[in-house]
Amino acid sequence: MTIQREKRLSYAVFVLPALLIYLAVVAFPTIFSILLSLTNYNGGAIFGNPDIQIVGFRSYVWMFTEPMGHFYQALGNNLLIVAVSVLGQIPLGFILAYILSRKLISRGNKFFQTMIYLPNVISAIIIGVLFNAIIYGRNSVLMEVKRLFNPAAVFTLNPNPMVPVLIVILWMFTGFYMIIFLANLQRIDPAVIEAARIDGAKEFRILWHISLPALSGVIITTAILAISGSLKSFDLIYAMTGGGPAGQTRVLSLYMYESAFRGAPNYPLANAISTVMVLISVVLIVIVRRLGHTFGTKED
């Protein structure tokens, strides 16, 4: 056996197991779903089924124009989640990380870090069910607290049902961003900061002129993580509100799930929603690669 052949054979042996599973379970279904979104397929046999017709973009047109505007409502909720991440979790996570990284306090750094990250390892289903009991319904803790201030308080439906969901999301993931910022802040050479201090720089100037510029790439990465995290959010909302009341807390993934697996299935619609989600992911990937090039060349 020549070295070239051995190389090629080994390459195949090492790559193929992972590649085949990945292609079968992730890549193929992605393309399959896009193709199905262009047909009227709605369950049953796929091959040799005479009822399946190619209907082009009919499902998309319906999705974008149906009078209830479910798609826009779900997309809007996804955007609200992104907004909470970008305006809430990322700044808060940064502040906490900055405090911890500067070691301004001598004790408990590790302890605070561990505790604030804790919700991230817990199943979102558990958190969703827990906060459902805390926030919603007549027997909720929220009602109990309301009664403490106003004994005559009666149960009413929350006019803005997304607000509690967003608060829980903020609660859950702030620690995630804190950990990411912390890891990057710790990579800044301490000698640079020490030199600035010797030159008389105040804490705020160190933050503004050293720490923040060093993190510019990471801040953009976290923004992208926030968008992809929002697209992936499903479990928490499923368990906490089930998308209700009346679909007001639905996100795209939940809208897709309900179209396909709740009540009368509407696969064409569900596949169209999936395709839009894939498209958003692809746009994100392109942005990441662009940024990777820009920032990569600068830093290296």
CB-wise, 67 or 157, nearer to other proteins? 157
CB-wise, 87 or 126, nearer to other proteins? 126
CB-wise, 87 or 286, nearer to other proteins? 286
115 contacts other proteins (rule: CB under 8 A):
yes
Reference 181, options 115, 111, 106, 89; nearest CA is 89
Identify which range of 48-56, 64-72, 80-88, 182-190 contacts other proteins by CB under 8 A: 182-190
**Alpha-carbon span 57 to 80, nearest angstrom:** 28
62 contacts other proteins (rule: CB under 8 A):
no
**Alpha-carbon span 2 to 6, nearest angstrom:** 6
# of chain residues touching other proteins (CB under 8 A): 106
DSSP 229-295: HHHH--HHHHHHTTT-STTTT--HHHHHHHHHHSSS--HHHHHHHHHHHHHHHHHHHHHHHHHHHHH
For 1, other C-beta atoms within 10 Å of its C-beta total 6
Reference 41, options 252, 266, 253, 256; nearest CA is 266
- Footprint on residues 123-162 left by other proteins (CB under 8 A): 123-126, 128-134, 137, 139, 141, 144-145
Taking the complex as a whole, the smallest distance from the CB of residue 28 to other proteins amounts, in Å, to 7
- Footprint on residues 272-291 left by other proteins (CB under 8 A): 274-275, 277-278, 281-282, 284-285, 288
Mutual angle of helices 162-185 and 216-232, in 10-degree steps:
150
27 contacts other proteins (rule: CB under 8 A):
yes
Among 61, 79, 118, 192, binds other proteins (CB under 8 A): 118
225 contacts other proteins (rule: CB under 8 A):
yes
Taking the complex as a whole, the smallest distance from the CB of residue 285 to other proteins amounts, in Å, to 5
- Footprint on residues 196-215 left by other proteins (CB under 8 A): 197
108 contacts other proteins (rule: CB under 8 A):
yes
What three-state secondary structure class fits 146? Answer: helix
77 contacts other proteins (rule: CB under 8 A):
no
Reference 249, options 127, 105, 74, 121; nearest CA is 74
Q: How would you class 109 by CB atoms within 10 Å of its CB: exposed for 0-12, middle for 13-18, buried for 19 or more?
A: middle
CB-wise, 68 or 121, nearer to other proteins? 121
CB-wise, 47 or 65, nearer to other proteins? 47
163 contacts other proteins (rule: CB under 8 A):
no
Distance of CA 123 to the CA centre of its chain: 15
